[in-house]
Chains A and B, each alone.
Chain A
Amino acid sequence: MIKFTKCMIALSISVALVMSTLIMANAQKKVSLEYVFFGSAGDIPVWEELGRDFVEQNPDIKLQVTAIPGETWGEYFDKVIVMVAGGTPPDMMRVAIEGVQLCISKGLLLPLDDYIERDKEELQDYFDDVHPRMIDCFRWEGKIYGLGLEWNNMSIHYNTELFRKYGIDRPADNWDKDEFLSIAEKLTADLDGDGRTDQYGYGLWNAYFAGSMPWIFNFGSNLLTEDWKESNANDPKVIAAMQWLQDLIWKYKVTPAPASADVTNLFVSGKLGMMGGGRWPCLDFANAGFSDYDILYWPKVETQITEVGIGTIPIFQFSEHPEESWKFLKYTLGREPERYFANLGWCMPARRSLAYDSDIMTPPEHFRIFYDSLDNSKYVPCPPQYNVVENIWLRYLGLITANEMTAAEACQAAHEEISEALTE
């Protein structure tokens, strides 16, 4: 009897050992994909929820989401590059157009042409539903490094309540900068009669994408040449655009100095009549319970072009799991994940069908302007040296808006520094 018991115990232990070994071996087969994005730790559940179905459909894949905070895209890319240099590169990262050429030029991204060709039938629904601009910006020397997942443009957001209060009709789509200025002046007011302005007509971001670039484009120019290889900062039209911004603050006094302006908060609290932005402020508006706004095309100067930036999830060259990473990328481009993403309100969905869906996109009432503007749009200039160019330009933009340098002097100085940076 005792002998039998000992045998049973030994057998049970053996079975348990074998089972646990099998379980561990199976667990080790699970692929861990690391995905990083520009945002705060509070946004991690959003991406985990997005990837929930993907993980369920692919039980051999574990998705690890990491947030990288920062003030600008440049800061985000710096941190990702440090991760790569430190030997801990992620498999995938969310990247906007601002960082794509930077990453490609450093040899960080995997070309996707072979994967696209192999799975083109599966992706045909996506290609049929997106504007070509969603893909063109990720082409580099004949290869494709990304497929547009989401994007933002620059429109004018205006406070509909203030417009009503001051008897201002919604301008026509082809309104110009003179009408813009006229409206901004009507909206600028000293509300308590103390001789100081308490409400401004327009809020200006001290930012690369959201601040100066839309105006430079519509003054008929660009900060860099069209191939992004040389500086164009001392172009008279760029100088004219910067002079215009300086005048808005110091001559017409319809804009607070950007250093003192938290544009979104001021707009929500009714202290700004108009502000520039894509879809991303709409999320902040919704969180603040603010819905008295609508959007307009950017006012025409010499042209009426929309500035756009496209986001994607490229695959790192160093990823040990490119096939699994490609699976996740394809998944995010699907209709339902895109719908989930669009409902968040951070940005515009790449898919046209979702961008015209009023259930997702309202407010604002004229949301169709977002996607319609793509036909007459230009990418934000993002050379491989984007992090340097952005830093230089913001420094001089700050001096222009602080009225400490003339637009001509600042643009010339920026031109010299940017020219040097682009040759390094």
Chain B
Amino acid sequence: MKKHMSEQRKKEIMAAYLFLLPTLIGYAIFIAGPTIAAFTLSLCKWDVLTPPNFTGLSNFRRLLHDARFLIVLKNTLIFTAGAVGLEIIIGLIIALMINRGAPGILRYFFRTTYFFPVIVSLASVSIVWQFLLNTDFGPINYYLGKLGFDRIPWLSSSRWALLSVIGLFAWKNLGFYMILFLAALQSVPRQLYEAAEIDGASSWQKFWGITLSLITPTLFFAIVIGLIGAFQLFDAPYIMTEGGPGDATRTLVMYIYLNGFRFLKMGYAVSSSMVLLAIILICTIFQFGVGRKWVFYQ
């Protein structure tokens, strides 16, 4: 009997591995393999046309002294903090407003309206916003002029260009976070609010103690996903400003593209991407570590 079960067990295990095999092969070919290849290339000098030449850590040493790399890294960090902060705060505010017992048809209207930019491609909206933000002929400056303001060089000034890209990115994505938070808000038990009202809790106390506490898992998810997406920004600044003026809106991914596909310094570009990978990894691990203290799971 035991011998029979052991053979049966072996067959089951074999069947499980066979079912897993396509996924494992796909993972090896499309994820693990390229990652290992990328790490190897980051240790080489490679111009794409000739075979790679192993150079050790020289690419990484060069990054430390590359003033442009430090500028684009700073831009990326500022962009990420600004865009993710705006997306989450405004997304939450709108979700709270929609959740305040609005009639069904109005709720549907606002949900659709705010979510619509999410489903349009970033490249398309970037082209449209490039026109809207045109300093001399764009409608935004036109109406600002009617209100007595001077023309703002939205895309032609280092001071305003990055803010413009942050604003566009936040505008485009806040609908997604609104939907996330709306779903989370609607899962908060109403009895908790009733109990709090009986105890005389203020609106702020109800929000802080009940609402925010119970949606922390969603908030945590939103922050993690938001940061990962923001760190990889390419489309909007590439279309709207091409990274300019100068390097004012150039992000790390744009710099990787520039080095790899324009300057044909693929090894150097890959080393930059390894740094980006490390940054995202460290941020995510940090969030998971800190999240244990502030995320409340029911």
Which of the candidate stretches B18-26, B238-246, B288-296 sits at the interface with the other chain?
A: B238-246
Residues of chain B with a CB closer than 8 A to A396's CB: 246
- B262 & A387 in contact (Cβ 8 Å cutoff): yes
Is B85 an interface residue when CB atoms closer than 8 A count as contact?
no
Q: How far is the CA of A154 from the CA of B247 in the complex (A)?
A: 28
Which of the candidate stretches A40-48, A134-142, A229-237, A254-262 sits at the interface with the other chain?
A: A254-262
- B247 & A395 in contact (Cβ 8 Å cutoff): yes
Q: How far is the CA of A243 from the CA of B153 in the complex (A)?
A: 20
Is B48 an interface residue when CB atoms closer than 8 A count as contact?
yes
Q: How far is the CA of A399 from the CA of B158 in the complex (A)?
A: 9
- A74 & B136 in contact (Cβ 8 Å cutoff): no
Chain A-chain B contacts (Cβ-Cβ < 8 Å), number: 81
Residues of chain B with a CB closer than 8 A to A401's CB: 156
Residues of chain A with a CB closer than 8 A to B243's CB: 395
One of A82, A259, A271 near B135 (C-beta < 8 A): A259
Q: How far is the CA of A50 from the CA of B207 in the complex (A)?
A: 70
Question: A214-268: which residues lie under 8 A (CB-CB) from chain B?
Answer: 256-261, 266
One of A81, A197, A394 near B49 (C-beta < 8 A): A81
- B156 & A259 in contact (Cβ 8 Å cutoff): yes
One of A194, A258, A387, A402 near B145 (C-beta < 8 A): A194
A192-211 Cβ-contact flags toward B at 8 Å (1 or 0): 00101100100000000000
Is A412 an interface residue when CB atoms closer than 8 A count as contact?
no
Most buried by B among A84, A106, A271: A106
Is A168 an interface residue when CB atoms closer than 8 A count as contact?
no
Residues of chain A with a CB closer than 8 A to B246's CB: 395-396, 398-399, 402, 404-405
| Closest residue of A by beta carbon distance from B250 | A395
A63-79 Cβ-contact flags toward B at 8 Å (1 or 0): 00000000100110011
With A84-B49, A398-B244, A398-B246 as known contacts, state yes or no: A257 contacts B262, CB within 8 Å. no
Question: B251-292: which residues lie under 8 A (CB-CB) from chain A?
Answer: 258, 261-264
Q: How far is the CA of A294 from the CA of B24 in the complex (A)?
A: 65
Residues of chain A with a CB closer than 8 A to B48's CB: 81-82, 85
A7-33 Cβ-contact flags toward B at 8 Å (1 or 0): 000000000000000000000000000
> Can you name 11 A-B residue pairings with CB atoms under 8 Å?
A74-B262, A256-B135, A259-B244, A261-B136, A266-B137, A271-B137, A399-B245, A402-B156, A402-B246, A404-B157, A404-B158
